[in-house]
Structure 1
Amino acid sequence: MSTVDLALGSTVLATRQDGTDIEPVLSPRPYLHPVRTKSGTVVTEERPADHLHHFGVSVAVPDVSGTSFWGGRTFTPDRGSVLLDNHGRQEHVSWAARGDDHHVEVLSWTDTGGAELLREERTTRVHDLDGHTWVLEMSVRLRNTSGRDLSVGSPATNGRPGAGYGGLFWRAPHAPTPPVCTGPDGLEGEQALHGSRAPWLALSGSADGAPWTLVFLQTGPDTDPWFLRVREYPGVGPALAWDTRLPLPADAVLRRGLRTAVHDGHAADPDALAEAARSLD
């Protein structure tokens, strides 16, 4: 398995894993892990015991016209969550650009039979913000190359309320004490922010005693409700199919982006971090 580092100067902040060693049932895909604060605290989780199909920061979609790019079980209306032979894979095609602080990767999303459904261009870049904070920016451009109309779904669209996950997804590290989740205008907690369209949300937790804060905001013209877990496990991502399937006609392009401020310590003002991250060129 090969790796590619993303760095600011001599400080490696994130490592891209190619995912070629992921078992088929876990939907092989590239991902970022470990992602670190400037002081070296790891703020991602890889293959945790609670969800073996969670891999750091990745693009994971549970249902593209029946093919899972999420891994694990699939929620069905008649049988609930069951393990199906429906796992696709994301495979590296080429690098469109590579530098110390950025890369642009072309990926092929294929179904269980190896037929391509989607062709992706994924841009990943790191930015410096201040002495304690840097920003990870990911943007995704997915083209339907299958020759037929597709749609994106989720467990929620199959009948499991509140489980509209799928898209850019950040699995944060598990700790004995769950992270604190906050948003703008005094919003706080999983219940208030899960499914919301808040302009940003923040997780503040600790890993091996070291405090960290992640501030997430969506970029681009199209944004989605937030999928958020805190108590069961810490995970955040915009939900492409929160409660309704997202159509993707033949040759159509889907674009989404996520910008995350990675901060050493518990930020006194996450709103200020969000505004600073938003202002980046």
Structure 2
Amino acid sequence: MNGNGTTVLRVAGRPVGRYVTRPELPARLSPRPYLHPVTTLAGTAVTELSPADHPHHLGVGVAVPDVEGFNFWGGRTYVRDRGPTELDNHGAQRHVTFQLRDPDGFVEELRWVAAGGELLRERRTVAAIELTDLAWALDLTFSLTNVTGNPLSIGSPATNGRPGAAYGGFFWRARKEPSAPEVLTAGADGAEKAHGRPADWLALRGGTWTLVFTGATGQTRRDPWFVRSGEYPGVGSSLAHDARVPLPPGDTLVRRVVTVVADGRLDRGDAAALVRRAVNP
């Protein structure tokens, strides 16, 4: 870790990701640690930070728009019967310590705090895994524990009345290019067919790169994917797809997403093979 609060992930000695632990951001962006830039092994950046269309999109990380009414996503809050609304309800994720830190990964402890104090304690595990000369994988697990002593619940704009907007959890804001990236799963083509549905894996294929996302635990595989390609390129999980997720005092919610980062445009066979190798290296 260097003096400005960042640590660099490496694969076979090559830097592939920069993790910022203490970003200096306005409260409206829900400050939180993030990975940016994340690159292919050839050096192509496949993330964006605070793009003009969504300044609160911060590379790769964990973000939730509604934890008991507090916004840990950034930007406006979707309010039932009112729509997107500017509220003074933003929380922040605060880095506490690295329990382990190596060139190819780390284990981190974070506090999710808002006006009411600390709501969640997170343990985040990140690993960079070498796969081939053209591909590596980012393995990210987050565990959220309710530390308040009171029941909490996790929601989304979808559970608050906005259909199709069940974002929240793992989120990857991808590289924006003149042409929208292609979206494919094992059995479907296009963002419209992939969005809002579970899939064993989901690929975002750009001009010279491919990202392949997979849920690496049973519960994560059951979460539908949140997918955008035309308006902006982004892929995330949907923790609260059609109902709020209860989190009683002391309970822990765990999710693991593994992402293959590849140079070139992978076909379905190559995408599936690399996912299998990434999940069970």
Common fold by TM > 0.5: yes
Per-residue deviation, 1:272: 2.2
Contact preservation (8 Å) 1:90, 1:108? yes
Show the counterpart of 2:195: 194
Tell me, yes or no, if structure 1 residue 26 matches structure 2 residue 29. Answer: yes
**Aligned residue number for residue 264 of structure 1:** 263
Stretches of 4+ moved more than 6 A in 1?
A: none
Paired AA for residue 215 in structure 1: V
Structure 2 counterpart of 1:231, one-letter code: G
Structure 2 unaligned residues grouped into runs of 5+: none
The aligned counterpart of 1:78 is 81
Alignment of 1:95-244 (within 5 A): 95-113=98-116, 115-185=117-187, 187-206=188-207, 211-223=208-220, 224-244=223-243
Q: Which amino acid aligns with 2:214?
A: L
Secondary structure of 1:12's aligned partner: strand
Higher alpha-carbon deviation: 13-22 or 100-109: 13-22
SS at match of 2:273: helix
Identity %: 49
Q: Please give the alpha-carbon distance, in whole angstroms, between the structure 1 residues aligned to 2:149 and 2:11.
A: 41
Superposed displacement of residue 278, structure 1: 2.8
CA shift, 1:169, in A, is: 0.3
Quick one: distance in 2 between partners of 1:11 and 1:262? 14
CA offset digits 1:101-126 (Å, max 9, x no partner) = 0100000000135x100000000000
Partner of residue 5, structure 1: 8
Partner letter of residue 104 of structure 2?
D
Say if 2:52 is the partner of 1:49: yes
Q: Which amino acid aligns with 1:178?
A: A
**Map of 2:42 onto structure 1:** 39
- The secondary structure found in structure 2 opposite 1:5 is strand
SS at match of 1:119: strand
* Other structure's SS at 1:130 match: coil
- For 2:67 and 2:145, the matched residues in 1 are separated by 12
What is the CA-CA distance between 1:236 and the residue it aligns to?
0.4
SS state of the match for residue 25, structure 1? helix
TM-score normalized by the length of structure 1: 0.95
Aligned to 1:15: 18
**How far does residue 73 in structure 1 lie from its aligned partner after superposition?**
0.3
Local SS of the residue matching 1:48 = coil
Q: Is the 8 A contact 1:153 1:246 kept in 2?
A: yes
Cα distance in 2 between the residues matched to 1:128 and 1:81: 41
Instruction: After TM superposition, give the deviation of residue 220 of structure 1 in Å.
Output: 1.8
CA distance in 2, matches of 1:5, 1:278: 22
Q: 1:221 to 1:271 in 2, by over 3 A?
A: closer
Looking at structure 1, the residues matched to 194 and 104 of structure 2 have their Cα atoms a distance apart, in angstroms, of: 31
Checking the alignment, whether the CA contact within 8 Å between 2:12 and 2:130 is kept in structure 1 is: no
User: Take 2:126 and 2:278, find their aligned partners in 1: how far apart are those partners?
Assistant: 15
- 1:197-240 superposed Cα distances (whole Å, 9 cap, x missing partner): 1110000113xxxx100000011231211000111111101110
- Deviation per CA, 1:165-218, whole angstroms, max 9, x where unpaired? 000000001111000000002x01011100111110000113xxxx10000001
Q: Structure 1 stretches of 5 or more lacking a match?
A: none
Deviation (angstroms), 1:19: 4.1
Q: Which residue of 1 aligns with 2:62?
A: 59
1:275 aligned counterpart, secondary structure = helix
Alpha-carbon displacement from aligned partner over 1:154-175 (angstroms, at most 9, x marks no partner)? 0000000000000000000111
8 A contact 2:105–2:125 mirrored in 1 = yes
